[in-house]
Structures are given as structure tokens and as C-alpha cells.
A = this chain, B = another copy of it.
């Protein structure tokens, strides 16, 4: 019998079946178990390891499913033959070709900025934009996929309307009532995340060289989509009431602006809720200059205050607000489903553009999401996520207060799971950044959110990927780094 050095760890969270599976997988993949080799019978192995026979059988089955083992009735379980590989001589050299010189100009310009670089390894994950995966409705999602496939069968197999799966468009139109928006299903288009909605809108409305106004600081990936369309991005400053509409007015008078991009519910990254007056002024300006407004309502479900402020689009009497929403925050980003609400004539144009892009979002995923929404568990799930983030943000607030030196400033966001921190003016931001890299503190540096290079003295701290202990320890370390930088400047 094979001599297996496997020792089950009963204290680990991982099921024993899984531990054994992983162990055997490693033996096969590293070649320590060779193709054709016979594994011990489940009964023998179970006895020798002190495991249940079922546990061993399940581990074997999982590895058979993965093609690493193969079972032969009456003979036993064997390491599967290796997949045939082409002779090494046929391996494409790959790097011989001079790709760099062939890249499009916009591709060459596009690199991940220093401000988005993450330490390696990440010890304290304050990156923003994600969710705490423990809040994802796993069981409900599994049920929803199963029901969608059982219920709609072959209808999910085909190319479908690039505007989206009808039941999902209906469900979103109904759900938007809670944001104050009365939209018809034919005004809703399903996209692969809010990011694709932004990309499609930019591709449809923006010619290279056009001016697009974006918040500053503002959501950087929206800026990336807008820049990819060839637009010239102009930042309009944000203060504690949201976008400074007087600055926008000045810009609109001096330049032809093709699009204005805003995040009124939870301004990204500052967390500010756009005030009532600013909303009125923004729409009046858009109307006067006949400029479409993109409202990215990405974090509205995760509001901290209550009651919710209705979407900007509810005041959109001329139909010039393009509303973008997502399930990445309320459910999970891995689903990659968002949507855009716009007048049907514009949506039809966007649908044509989608032929170039990808011909539509996964039909199965859309149908499953429609099932999930119909089952109605979403609101309960969102409440749970909201409580979790509120508690973590409150702890972050407390810990910052305790650990950061005078001069640092921040305020709690209107919603979501991120906080926008300004470092003390006395601290050299580059020194703080270097300190964070060596301490393994991952966060986005503020200049990622500016188009004019400002913002190095800011950090966006997200709490989705860090638990309470991590917040305490990470902020304590950050506090030490900032204090040291202040002291050095003073010296």
C-alpha cells in the first residue's frame, strides 16, 4: 500500500474530505503519484488514517470528477493518464514577437498607476470596491441558478436580445420604484456590471476629443472607460455638498461638454451625498446646455443614513439622465451584472454597439438573478450587509480618532463601505505610501481619483476585505507611519 503522509487536521475549518482531496491532488499534480498507480481501497485508507470510509470515497470522487483519478469497477481507483501534450518543440516562442511596438497608442498610454499598486503580501486589505464575501447570498444564488436552468431550459441556450433577459428587465424596473424611479422594462438594459454600462454609454455618445466632465475626486474606473472612448476628461471639484455646480456652470459656458458623470448617492471616493440644491442646479444646467448626465448609483443600497434619498433620475423630466445601477454591491461583483436605464431610442443604439462588444450578458446569469429577485430574499440580505459595513465603518472611525495624529481628517460616508481620509498636511504623503507598502497595508492612494495629479495626501480605506481585528491593527500601524512622517517633517 502507498505510504501516505497525510495527517487530518480536525481543528482546521476545512472539512476532512477536502483536506484529503487537496493532499492527494498535490501528490498527483507534482508527479509524486504517477499515472496508472493504484490507490488504496477506501476501506483500507479510511482505517489507516482514522477517517470515515465515506470521507475517503468523497475525496476520491471529487478527484475523479476533476480527471486526476479514474475508477474502474471491480479493479479500484487509479491515477488517471496524463493528458497528451504536444512535443515541446511545438511550443510557441511567444515572446519573440515585438508586441510592445504594435500596441495602439491608447493601450500604450494605459498602465496601472502607482496609486493603485498593492503591497505584496497584503496584510491589511483596505482596498475599496468589493464586498465582504461572507455577506453574499450563497444558498439563495445556488437555488436561483438551479431554478433558472430547470425552468427555462433551452431558452437560456441561445443568443438573446442584447438588451437583456425580459424577466430581469421587468424585475429591475419594478425594483427601481424603491429609488423613486418609474421606468418601463424597455428602458432597462442589462450589462456585464456597471463598468460595461459606462463603457457602452461612452462608446455610444463620445467621439475622440470630446470633453466629458467628471467629478474630482471621482471613480477612477469610470474615468478609464471614458478615456478609452478617446474623450478628454475634465475634473469638476467636489465639496461637502457634492459636485460644485458653479464650477460645472463655468465649464459648460466655456466648452462643449458631451457628458457629465456623477455619483450623487455616495460620491466616490469622498462618500458625500449630493445636496438637494446641487441636484436642482445640476439638472438645470444639463437642461440649459442639453448635456446628458450619467448617474452612477452604485452604492445606494448600502446607505448608512435613512431614509434613502431618491435618485437624481426621479427629477429627470426631460429624460436626459442616464441611470447606471449594479448588483455588485447589493449581491456580489462576481455575478458581473449591472444595468443602465435610459430612454428606449438611446438604448436601441447602445444595443447595436453591443454587437461589437460581446453580444450580451450571460443569459443563464441573468435568468438566475431574475429568480433571485423574484424569491425576494434580497432586501434581507442587503440589510445584513448594511449592518456589517456600518459597524466596521464606525470602528474605523473610532480607531482613526484614537491612532491618527492631529491634522488628519475624514467624515463618515453616506453609504457603502469606504472612507476618504486626508493625511495631515505635515506628513510627506510619499513617505506614508512607502511605509504602507512595507507594512502590507493595501489601500488606494488619492491621486488615483484625480485627473490633475492632486490627491496624493488622501487615501481611500475600504472595510469590505478587513475584519474588526484587521481594522484595529492596520489603523494602529497606519497611525504610527503617519506620526513618524509628521515627526520627520518637524525635525
In the complex the two chains form, is A182's CB within 8 Å of B90's CB? Answer: yes
- Chain B min CB distance to A360 (Å): 6
- Which of B96, B155, B364 contacts A133, CB < 8 Å? B155
Which residue on B lies nearest to A175, using beta carbons? B83
- C-alpha spacing A368/B334, complex, angstroms: 13
- Chain B min CB distance to A2 (Å): 24
Which residue on B lies nearest to A207, using beta carbons? B104
- Chain B min CB distance to A193 (Å): 5
- Which of B66, B110, B145, B337 contacts A352, CB < 8 Å? B110
Copies of this chain in its oligomeric complex: 2
In the complex the two chains form, is B336's CB within 8 Å of A360's CB? Answer: yes
Known contacts A138-B154, A159-B130, A365-B364; decide if A374 and B98 are in contact (CB<8 Å): no
A33 within 8 A of B: no
In the complex the two chains form, is A157's CB within 8 Å of B207's CB? Answer: no
In the complex the two chains form, is B94's CB within 8 Å of A333's CB? Answer: no
In the complex the two chains form, is B344's CB within 8 Å of A363's CB? Answer: no
- Contacting chain B: which of A309-317, A399-407, A479-487? A309-317
A288 within 8 A of B: no
- Which of B94, B145, B207 contacts A319, CB < 8 Å? B94
A73 within 8 A of B: no
- Contacting chain B: which of A197-205, A263-271, A299-307? A197-205
Known contacts A149-B138, A155-B133, A157-B136; decide if A195 and B333 are in contact (CB<8 Å): no
- Which of B199, B206, B210, B336 contacts A362, CB < 8 Å? B336
- C-alpha spacing A227/B357, complex, angstroms: 11
A84 within 8 A of B: yes
In the complex the two chains form, is B334's CB within 8 Å of A362's CB? Answer: yes
